Structure 1
Amino acid sequence: MMHDCTQLNEERGLSQLPVIVGMGGVNPAGRTSGHQGYRRTVLDALPQEEQARTLLGLAAMMRLARCQDDGSWRDANGQSLDEADIVERFHQHVLDHTLIRRIEDPRFTTDGIPANRQARLDIEAPLVFRIRRRQLPDSLPETWQVHEIDRRQVEVTVPPGHLDVMLPERRMAQVRAAGQLPQGFDPSRFYRSVHHPRGLSMTVFGASDCLGQSGLSWEELRERLDPDAIAVYAGNSIGQLDDEGWGGLLKSFVAGQRATSKQMPLGYGQMPADFLNAYVLGSVGATGAVQGACASFLYNLRQGVEDIANGRRRVVMVGTSDAPVTPEIIEGFRAMGALADDDSLKALDALTLLTDADYQRACRPFARNCGFTIAEASQFLMLMDDELALELGARILGSVPAVYTNADGWKRSISAPGIGNYLTLSKAVSLANQILGPDALRQRTFLHAHGTSTPKNRVTESHVLDRVAHAYGIDDWPVVAIKAFVGHSQGSAGGDQLVSALGSFAYGLLPGIPTLDAVADDVHDERLRFFSTPLSFQADAAFINAKGFGGNNATGLVLSPEATERLLTKRHDSAALERWKARQAVTLERATDYETHADKGHFQAVYRFGEGVLEGPELDVRADRIDIPGYGQPVSLSVDNPFGSIND
């Protein structure tokens, strides 16, 4: 019996195993569900049928072709096409307008970035100008003389002297490469988005994609679980800083614009979790967002993993959504010297002019490089304890036994390297050694490096990886650096790495580093294996590594579906696994149906604004439980007390 297996695990002192039962999101490679984004990164190594499927799905996502209700396809002009025509016609366009590329926002190309320049005018004769009354400053300089022309216009006379002004200008972008979502894809189109920051629209899409891919019914889960058995941990690294969020709020005064009522609340870094609870899942369980710079995804994942392992929660949605491709954020990182700007890229390859192909090669982990390439992404996972996953017949994509985090300790500067990553990776490898055994550790695991493409990272991270490999007797350890394809999505970077690892488990291919012409001379690679084209590799586990700004280090251990099933066999009896496999038929059918529709560009975001709203008076509050209308199970008030009683 399942209950007996769980009781036996408790007697052995075993924790619940956090298994991955759903994944969803979007990044510059494409959609996460169905491994579409992963397939884009190993495209040339896939069978022809899988290549065509990938290109067709991306063409639909980019609105180059549209599948009609009767199953026929048409292009944007209404011309009828078959699937083979679409793949042939749009093949190169899909390749050119996914992954890292020249920023397609016209502000970064021909128009220039709108800006103002401070100036002082020396006025030799009185300056006279006409202006609308409402455009006058609230507080006028004492020397200005204002004459009314009519109800709308006034004439202003400024006497000779000094006048401080802001002169509008257009500044040409110094950074023109970024990892952008596939051209033509707008996540806000799939639900009633009203001035939502891009990161929150990506959150709604990513979480909806995760639910669809899981093949599970969220309503059925809510019916059978105590609402407190569900949690959401989601956020990002720097909040929503585009014009609809804090970006527009902070520059509103100087830009002569009004702040809106939405910019302040929608800018918060935990808002992805808030949106999921309020509009996607309707969850009243635990919630939060852990910010850890570039390691934020893994920090949130750790929270969910520990909740499940310790029995505090049974289902957890974790993830991040970052949309930092804005002029101000890019300028901030450029001023730090962290980004691969145009001048640095030219100097790196002795070029006088950068082509589109050069921008596509901007990110070069562990090669001669000059800075990272910023990107946007949204990645979400649904975690579940192994007992519940077996009971439901969930589709198990892998498992996450643990995520480790450590700080750097004393530092020369907040951006300088430190020692924390040696600790996180070593702990993760030690756990893998205990779960899988030394032979599997050395022969059937690989590394998903942080791999930012900065000169400092290539030295410091490679030293961490190489030293740990030496400590555990690992030779020729494969290293994947997915940022070469999708760029650095800040807090979501670990999510990009993890879903890529799940793709490698499914297809047996590790993405190469296509921008790696040669490993840089200062990279420590005695025990590491770097490669530029996809590598055939059957893995039991992957290590997801993150070295975040400020000393936020994290490493997660992710087991493959096959290794997870072997571990489940040890934890549960064979009959339980047979029943699980039988129950999977319905789940897989739902998941396949969702992916088939998504490959045709048919997305339906879950967004339930104003549905089932409760404010308190509707609750039935008792001493042992709280009954909530619309939720199948009550919230139990039988809380654990590990501290004893003062009345004993």
Structure 2
Amino acid sequence: MSRLPVIVGFGGFNAAGRSSGHQGFRRMVLESLPECERQETLAGLGVMMGLVRCQEGQWCDDQGQALTLAQIEAQFGDAIRAGSLIRRIDGRFFDVDSVHWQKSAKLNIEEGTQSFILKARDLPEPVPENWTVTELEERQVRVDISQSLEVKLDSYRDMPVKSAGQLPQGFNPEDLYNARFHPRALQLAVIGASDAVRSMGIEWAQVAASVLPDEVGVYASNVMSQMDENGFGGLLKSRLLGGRVTTKQCPLGLNSMPADFVNAYILGSVGHTGAIAGACASFLYNLRAAVEDISSGRCRVAVVGNAEAPITSEIIDGYATMGALATEEKLKKIDGSDDTDPARSSRPFGENCGFTIAESSQYIVLMDDELALELGADIHGAVNDVFINADGYKKSISAPGPGNHITFAKAVASARAIVGDEVVRQRSMVHAHGSSTPQNRVTESQIFDQVAEYFGITDWPVAAIKAFVGHSLSPASGDQLIASLGTFKYGMVPGVKTIDRVADDVFADRLNIQVADFTPQEGIDVAFLNSKGFGGNNATASVLSPKVVDQMLEKRYGADRFARYQALREQTRTQAEQYDQAALRGDFGTIYQFGEGLIDESKIEFVDGEIRLPGFAKAVNLDLPNRFDDMV
């Protein structure tokens, strides 16, 4: 009997704000929310952005003047909307109109020699042969040159890419804990994973005490490593810029650090750790590993996620040079205008010209179904399967291929085996990779159309949330999963609001792609998350709604035990709501235990087939069975 991996916590941060409590999803469908929920969502974002404060449970402005939710919307609503989701890259990253770079130049000597004075300590090593050096007073030297001189000159140029999916304006992850010069992606990992753990409504200590120490797993990574100044970015350019490498840049730059930080500073876990990278499908690669380990019983609790911070001029240069990003000039050409709206740079399935890069951190907490019932965890959905397939022989590493046909069709077939044909045909939806490139809109929609025809689906709801939050690379499918949970909760499918209409070359006959939010009449019980990555990294996940999971659990455990679980779950929901309300008011309570609860290795005991660790309620079992007893 396979254990069902159920989602009991979720959290993170992206351009839509905080993920837990469905706050980020609510930002995407803001126009379609009831007034009270819309205003509360705006107020929470206003606090994150520093526009609104909360004192003694009262909303107020920066002068301490009390505000109602309606007043917050009236005074700050426009700024909050403009300062979230995709927008023009702001100056905290770099000036898109004046990006610093080095220009190579050759200075030719007209007649005789040329001289200049500099400090002796600034002489290059070794001194070039055509330099004549004369010592002067005050530790200076004069250099005479008779030949040409090659130099680097500070220059500034326009960045053709102007927009990105950035955290809400004014929100700084380093303010939530003692960041200690952490690269931005690791800051995002800490606050995102903490948000997910705290969203459970169950203290982590209680969860950890309920399982063996090695039955916890963390599956997380990123694709671009940490490429800002505090990570590999600073490491690689420090010598060329005349700086020094720090002791942290090399280790903190590794792409396994989003998992390592969760283990070391949030969970204090001694269980399984994994950092799987599969380009833009990395979240689903990590999710598959966790699902397989929980289903097989190797793991009972898993924290899964990715954190990426790719908004650097160097990374954007790289993708832009490939022609993968939407540039201002291309957007103007599509619009037939001298102006373009940065907020509409990502246009999945519409007339588009490239993707919009983004930063994000998304984490979920998975448990096996039995543990979830035991603890009274609130179940937001379940992941029944994740499929991964390559493309076979390729002529271009970035071109799509047949692997996604396999992953997507198998995901639909897997869900059909559980819920049946009718649910798949009438109550399922697709979260498209929807990268906003001309090639993607054709190739991905063709896959959806072909699979829909095979399974008898005629009006398949399709969402493409990169229109709101951009393409965050490794966490991109985490963004999709969080949005799926929002659809399960509210019944709404986010529309692709950045396009005027679906492009003519999209295979849309069997697809329902709307430009406004919509609520399918039959509801949504299954979501298919599709992801495509450079190199042939294709993955598709099948996610079941809480309604379906409840039905499955009641059938497996019986009405009486399920009723007891429901009663216990109410307390969990109350505690989760308390965290959500505190976070709305700026009290995130970020978990970051640096140097706390260290294990005294001298007190580790090996006794009666167990390893007993100080500080852990249960022991690690050493009485392992022979997995190959039929061969021995």
TM-score, length-normalised on structure 1? 0.95
The residue that corresponds to 1:226 in the other structure is 212
Match of 1:443 in 2: 426
Q: Could you say which residue in structure 2 is the equivalent of 1:312?
A: 298
Which residue number corresponds to residue 123 of structure 2? 136
Judge conservation of contact 1:295–1:491 (CA < 8 Å) in 2: yes
CA distance in 1, matches of 2:128, 2:42: 62
Alpha-carbon contact 1:368-1:519 (below 8 Å) kept: yes
- Find the counterpart in structure 1 of residue 168 from structure 2: 182
Aligned residues: 629
For 1:394, the equivalent position in structure 2 comes to 377
Asked whether the equivalents of residues 516 and 531 of structure 1 are also in contact (C-alpha less than 8 Å), the reply is: no
Deviation at 1:107, TM superposition (A): 6.3
Residue 615 of structure 1: how far off its partner (Å): 6.2
Partner deviation per Cα, 1:53-76 (whole Å, 9 max, x = no partner): 1100100111111101x2233333
Aligned to 2:392: 409
Say whether the 8 Å CA contact 1:106–1:112 is kept in structure 2. Answer: no
Q: Is the 8 A contact 1:146 1:157 kept in 2?
A: yes
Does residue 52 of structure 2 align to residue 65 of structure 1? yes
Question: Does residue 40 in structure 1 map to residue 23 in structure 2?
Answer: no
- Following the alignment from structure 1 to structure 2, what is the Cα–Cα distance between the partners of residues 106 and 503? 30
Q: How many Å apart are 1:138 and its aligned residue? A: 2.8
The equivalent of 2:475 in structure 1 is 492
1:147 lines up with 2:134 in the alignment: yes
Asked whether the equivalents of residues 118 and 140 of structure 2 are also in contact (C-alpha less than 8 Å), the reply is: yes
| TM-score with structure 2 setting the length | 0.97
- What does residue range 566-577 of structure 1 map to in structure 2 within 5 Å? 566-577=551-562
Name the residue aligned to 1:246: 232
Task: Pick one of 175, 186, 190 that aligns with 1:204.
Answer: 190
Q: 1:636 to 1:445 in 2, by over 3 A?
A: same
Quote the residue 2:527 is aligned against. Answer: 542
User: Per the alignment, in what secondary structure is the counterpart of residue 134 of structure 1?
Assistant: helix
On the 8 A contact 1:246/1:267 being kept in 2, the answer is yes
Contact 1:109–1:176 (Cα < 8 Å) also in 2: no
Deviations 1:493-524 (A, max 9, x none): 00000000100110010000012212112111
Superposition deviation, residue 83 in structure 1 = 3.3
Which amino acid in 2 is paired with 1:241?
M
Pairwise CA distance, 1:345: 1.0
Match runs of 1:611-630 below 5 Å: 611-614=596-599, 616-622=601-607, 624-630=609-615
Which of 288, 300, 303 is 1:302 aligned to? 288
Q: 1 CA distance for matches of 2:278 and 2:420?
A: 31
Equivalent residue letter for 1:501: S
Partner of 1:84: 70
Shift of 1:77: 4.4
Q: Which runs of 5+ in 2 are unaligned?
A: none
SS at match of 1:509: coil
Cα distance, 1:250–1:623 mapped onto 2, change above 3 Å: farther
**1:624 positional shift:** 1.2
Shift of 1:200: 0.4
Deviations 1:538-562 (A, max 9, x none): 1111000001111001110111110
| C-alpha distance in structure 1 between counterparts of 2:94 and 2:189, whole Å | 25
Could you tell me whether the CA contact under 8 Å between 1:272 and 1:320 is conserved in 2?
A: yes
CA contact (8 A) 2:96 2:162 kept: no
Distance across 2 between alignment mates of 1:210 and 1:528: 33
One-letter amino acid matched to 2:582: H
CA 1:76 to 1:142, structure 2 compared with 1: closer, same or farther past 3 Å?
farther
Q: Determine helix, strand or coil for the equivalent of 1:577.
A: helix
Partners of 2:512 and 2:442 lie apart in 1 by 15
Equivalent position amino acid for 2:43 in 1:
L
Within the candidate set 413, 421, 431, 1:430 is matched to 413
Q: Decide whether the 8 Å contact of 1:144 with 1:156 is kept in 2.
A: no
Match of 1:596 in 2: 581
Match of 1:286 in 2: 272
Contact 1:126/1:157, CA 8 A, preserved across alignment: no
Quote the Cα distance in structure 2 between the aligned partners of 1:333 and 1:422.
Answer: 26
What aligned pairs does 1:74-113 form with structure 2 within 5 A after superposition?
74-105=60-91, 108-109=94-95, 112-113=98-99
Offset of residue 190 of structure 1: 1.1
In 1: Cα distance, 2:558 partner to 2:2 partner: 16
Query: Residue 155 of structure 1 aligns to a residue in which SS?
Result: strand
Secondary structure of the 2:601 match is: coil
Alignment partners' CA distance in 2, 1:606 and 1:107? 26
TM-superposed deviation, 1:604: 1.6
Map of 1:248-397 to 2, 5 A cutoff?
248-354=234-340, 358-397=341-380
Would the aligned equivalents of 1:228 and 1:635 in 2 still touch at CA under 8 Å? yes
The AA in structure 2 aligned to 1:557 is S
- What one-letter code is carried by the residue in structure 2 that aligns with 1:469? A
SS at structure 1 position matched to 2:488: helix
* Contact 2:133 2:144 (C-alpha < 8 Å) held by counterparts: no
Distance 2:155 2:536 in 1: 38
Rounded to whole Å, the distance in 2 between the matches of 1:289 and 1:40 is: 30
- Whether the aligned pair in 2 keeps the contact of 1:107 and 1:113 (CA below 8 Å) is no
Which secondary structure does the structure 1 equivalent of 2:508 belong to? coil
Counterpart in 1 of 2:621?
Answer: 636
8 Å contact from structure 1 (residues 626, 636) kept in 2: yes
SS in 1 for 2:468: helix
Name the stretch that deviates more: 613-622 or 365-374.
Answer: 613-622
Q: 1:617 to 1:630 in 2, by over 3 A?
A: same
After superposition, the Cα gap between the structure-2 partners of 1:342 and 1:520, relative to the gap in structure 1 and judged at 3 Å, is same
C-alpha change, 1:245 and 1:110, in structure 2 (3 Å) is: closer
Q: Which residue of 2 aligns with 1:54?
A: 41
**Which residue matches 2:507?**
524
Distance 1:212 1:175 in 2: 36
* Cα distance change of structure 1 residues 150 and 107 upon mapping to structure 2, 3 Å threshold: farther
Alignment partners' CA distance in 2, 1:544 and 1:531: 18
Distance 2:210 2:468 in 1: 41
Structure 1: 5+ residue stretches without partners: 1-13
Q: Give the Å deviation of 1:343.
A: 1.6
Q: Deviations over 1:75-97 (max 9, x none)?
A: 33444434332221110001101
The CA deviation at 1:233 is: 0.4
Between the aligned partners of 1:150 and 1:46, the Cα distance in structure 2 is 74
- Say whether residues 1:562 and 2:560 are aligned partners: no
How far residue 111 of structure 1 moved from its aligned partner, in angstroms, is 6.0
How many angstroms apart in 2 are the aligned matches of 1:645 and 1:149? 85
Partner of 1:491, secondary structure, is coil
Instruction: Provide the C-alpha distance between the structure 2 equivalents of 1:92 and 1:148, rounded to a whole number of angstroms.
Output: 63
In structure 1, what residue type is equivalent to 2:189?
Answer: T
d(CA) in 1 for partners of 2:503 and 2:202? 46
Q: How far apart, CA to CA, are the structure 2 residues paired with 1:209 and 1:190?
A: 11
What is the aligned counterpart of 2:464 among 468, 481, 484?
A: 481
> Alpha-carbon deviation of 1:144?
2.1
Between the aligned partners of 2:540 and 2:115, the Cα distance in structure 1 is: 65
Which of residues 570, 581, 595 is equivalent to 1:610?
595
For 1:569, give the aligned amino acid: E
Inter-partner Cα distance in structure 2 for 1:608 and 1:106: 28
For the residues of structure 1 that align with 2:569 and 2:479, how far apart are their CA atoms? 27
1:470–1:414: structure 2 CA closer, same or farther, 3 Å change rule? same
